[in-house]
Amino acid sequence: MTFEEIHQRLAAKFGDRIGPLAPANKDAFAPVQTPAIVEICEFLKTDPELAFDCLINLSSVDWPKKNQIEVVYHFWSYQKQHSFIVKCLLDRAKPELPSVTSVWNAANWLEREQFDLMGVVFTDHPDLRRIMLPDDWVGNPLRKDYAEQPEWHNITTTRESPLDGFVRLDELVKKKASEKKEVLQ
Partner 1 sequence: MSKPLEIPTMDMTHKEVMRRIEYTGDMLLNMGPQHPSTHGVINFLVQTDGEVMKRAIPEVGYLHRSIEKIGERCTYNGFMPYTDRVDYIAAMFANQGWAMAVERLGGFQVPKYAEYCRVIACELNRIASHLISVGTMAMDVGAVTPFPYALREREFINDLLEELCGARLTYNYLRIGGVAFDLPTGYEDKVAHFLDHFEKILDEFNRLITYNEIFIKRLANLAPIPAEMAIDYCLVGPNLRASGLSFDVRKQLPYSVYPELHFEVPVGKGEVGAKGDAWDRFWCRVEEMRQCCRILRQCLAQIPKDKEIMGKVPRKIKVPEGVEAYSRIESARGDMQYYVVGGAGENAHRVKIRTGSFTAMGIIDELSRGLMIADLVALIASLDVVAPEIDR
Chain positions contacting partner 1, by CB under 8 A: 24-27, 53-57, 59, 61-62, 72, 74, 78, 81, 85, 104-106, 108-110, 113, 117, 126-127, 129-135, 141-142
Shortest distance (Å) from residue 39 CB to partner 1: 19
Q: Are 128 and 121 in contact (CB under 8 A)?
A: yes
**Spatial separation of the C-alpha atoms in residues 168 and 70, rounded to whole Å:** 46
Pick the closer one to partner 1 by CB: 124 or 179: 124
Pick the closer one to partner 1 by CB: 105 or 149: 105
Which residues partner with 83 through β-bridges?
Answer: 76
Shortest distance (Å) from residue 110 CB to partner 1: 8
Q: How many CB atoms lie within 10 A of CB 10?
A: 22
Pick the closer one to partner 1 by CB: 81 or 154: 81
**Spatial separation of the C-alpha atoms in residues 101 and 109, rounded to whole Å:** 9
Shortest distance (Å) from residue 24 CB to partner 1: 5
Q: Exposed, middle or buried, 116 (CB in 10 Å: 0-12/13-18/19+)?
A: buried
Pick the closer one to partner 1 by CB: 25 or 123: 25
- Checking 11-20 for CB contacts under 8 A at 24+ apart, the result is 13/43, 14/39, 14/40, 14/43
Q: Which one-letter amino acid corresponds to residue 158? A: T
Shortest distance (Å) from residue 106 CB to partner 1: 3
Shortest distance (Å) from residue 154 CB to partner 1: 19
Pick the closer one to partner 1 by CB: 11 or 51: 51
Q: Are 60 and 72 in contact (CB under 8 A)?
A: yes
